[in-house]
Amino acid sequence: MTRSVPNGQFVTRRTPPVAFGPVIPDRLRPILDETAPLAERFRADAKRVYLVGGIVRDLLLGHDLVPDSDIDLTTDARPADVKRIISGWADAVWTPGERFGTIGCEKDGRTYEITTHRAEVYVPDSRKPSVVYADAVEADLSRRDFTVNAMALALPDPELIDPFGGAADLAAGVLRTPLAPEVSFTDDPLRMLRAARFIAGYGLVPQPALVEAVGRLHERLEIVSPERIRGELDKLLVVVDPSPGLWFLVDTGLVDGFLPELTAMQLEQDPIHRHKDVLAHTIAVVANTRAERIVRLAALLHDVGKPRTRAIGDNGVSFHHHEVVGARMARDRMRALKYSNDDIEKVTKLVYLHLRFHTYQMGWTDSAVRRFVRDAGPLLSDLIELTRCDCTTRNVRKAQTLSLRMDELEARIAELEAEEELKAIRPDLDGQQIMDHLGIGPGRVIGDALDALLEIRLDEGPIGEDEAFRRLDAWWAARAD
């Protein structure tokens, strides 16, 4: 087992370095060629430099280097030396992270972050580390979140540094921390939330000791800023299937620190009225929707109002107006997590409208289609996606019926779009025309007139200016009476 000694040097390795020899795997060639000039500058200065982080993991998985992705490097050079080494090579250099040992730079459109080996220790009640530099790359790797991320690739001559068996864990599908999980999660509690993303995104199975540590330490997440929590939640939600990660958050109690509404949805099943677990349904809906952040957030929150509105009567379980209550709850929770106003408006609107489709039981009139499109606005495709995926019933006949009704709605929307400008539904007259025709100035009455004409437009479709003026006169006369 790897152990550290007081000076931060590591005396044993679990996995010896892997030198690739004269035959370099094809998947390494692009990154080696791109970083060679920089690596040679470090070597000329008698310093070592290594690729670290997700890029090493993804190279082992056979993933191609993303053209605009950032490159993370670690080195034994101190920040002042790093600035000197990259001077004349980098197109731009920035130093806001210098006090944490990080120098940023850009070359040919690529961003590099070069960090001095660190053996930082977090103060228990602090969100920021106390930075201590180290000379050995192994000391730096020991403070990484998981073994699959605690690998380094030496440059310019590739050599895999893997002191904690990350490559073997990646192959075996195991999620472990380099040091004891208590140490790792105490150092940075956000790693507990990040574990959910790696479980879901990479199909890794967490070690029992890791799960147990999260269960004991999950309250430490309270020292992490809402912005960092929000960022990790967003990353989890856009993996192909977030389900395993979401269940991990619930089962360990970690979710209670930032989204307790999720745990509240774990209602008891009611075998008499055949009421299914709302949480299981919610996670299934999230997995069913396309991997886009806004629609996935709406799927996660669309039923948060059910626990507060749940009632059991003679006709079974009901959740009357849960979409209204849920929209308010979603707004409050997203504000607490510091989401942007734009994100909040989109998600709460989808939560509020997610039952709208089911109110049209008798078929889709032109008026109903226009109102549905008008209310959804630019979120129409997301609302249709959420509505379709909200059906998780095992009743094949019921599922087919819902799907056919959704097909019918989309067909009706397409038909009307071919005839009318549904995406820009507005009255046949504008405010200036109304003022000129009635001989009045700006005021609330103009808004009332526009609303009246919009209702006509929604019910009847375009009526033309002449008819619109006649309807306006009738409305104005009725108002006067």
- The region that residue 46 occupies, defined by phi over 0 for left and psi between -120 and 50 for alpha, beta otherwise, is left
Single-letter amino acid code for the residue at 441: G
| 205-234 pLDDT per residue, tens | 999 999 999 999 999 999 999 999 999 999
| 320-335 pLDDT per residue, tens | 789 899 999 999 999 9
Q: List residues bridging with 187 in a β-sheet.
A: none
Does domain 259-423 fall into CATH 1.10.3470? Answer: no
The span from the CA of 452 to the CA of 238, in Å, is: 42
Element (H, E) at 205: strand 205-206
Q: What is the DSSP string of 2-14?
A: --B-TTS-B---S
Single-letter amino acid code for the residue at 91: D
Single-letter amino acid code for the residue at 350: L
What pLDDT is stored for residue 4 in this prediction? 33
pLDDT of 271 over the 60 cut: no
- What are the Cα distances from residue 357, in Å, to 179, 211, 322, 352, 454? 52, 41, 15, 11, 21
- What are the Cα distances from residue 202, in Å, to 139, 180, 195, 196, 280? 25, 21, 10, 10, 22
- What are the Cα distances from residue 440, in Å, to 176, 446, 480? 73, 9, 14
Angle at 112 between CA 110 and CA 117, to 5 degrees: 165
The CATH code that applies to domain 18-179 is: 3.30.460.10
Residue 245 or residue 9, greater confidence: 245
In the predicted model, what is the mean pLDDT of residues 386-395? 84
Position 468 confidence tier, pLDDT thresholds 50, 70, 90: confident
CA-nearest of 413, 324, 404, 347 to 374 is 413
| 188-210 pLDDT per residue, tens | 999 999 999 999 999 999 999 99
| 123-139 pLDDT per residue, tens | 666 556 667 899 999 99
End-to-end CA distance of the chain: 90
What pLDDT is stored for residue 398 in this prediction? 80
Domain spans of the chain, in order of start: 18-179, 259-423, 427-480
Residue 285 or residue 395, greater confidence: 285
In the predicted model, what is the mean pLDDT of residues 454-480? 84
pLDDT of 268 over the 60 cut: no
| 427-446 pLDDT per residue, tens | 878 888 888 888 888 888 88
Local structure of 15: helix, strand or coil: coil
pLDDT of 408 over the 50 cut: yes
* Residue 412 CA to its chain's centroid (Å): 33
The structure's pTM equals: 0.80
CA-nearest of 469, 298, 462 to 370 is 462
Helix 208-217 to helix 243-251 angle (10° resolution) is 50
In the predicted model, what is the mean pLDDT of residues 412-436? 76
| Pair 379, 292: CB distance under 8 Å | no
pLDDT of 273 over the 50 cut: no
**Mean pLDDT, the chain, whole residue set:** 86
Percent of the chain with pLDDT over 70: 87
| 333-376 pLDDT per residue, tens | 999 999 999 999 999 999 999 988 887 665 678 888 888 888 89
Residue 223: CB atoms within 10 Å: 15
pLDDT of 142 over the 80 cut: yes
pLDDT of 113 over the 70 cut: yes
| 82-94 pLDDT per residue, tens | 999 999 999 999 9
Element (H, E) at 129: strand 129-130
Position 244 confidence tier, pLDDT thresholds 50, 70, 90: very high
The span from the CA of 305 to the CA of 291, in Å, is: 23
Q: List residues bridging with 19 in a β-sheet.
A: 159
The span from the CA of 301 to the CA of 261, in Å, is: 8
Q: List residues bridging with 49 in a β-sheet.
A: 75, 155
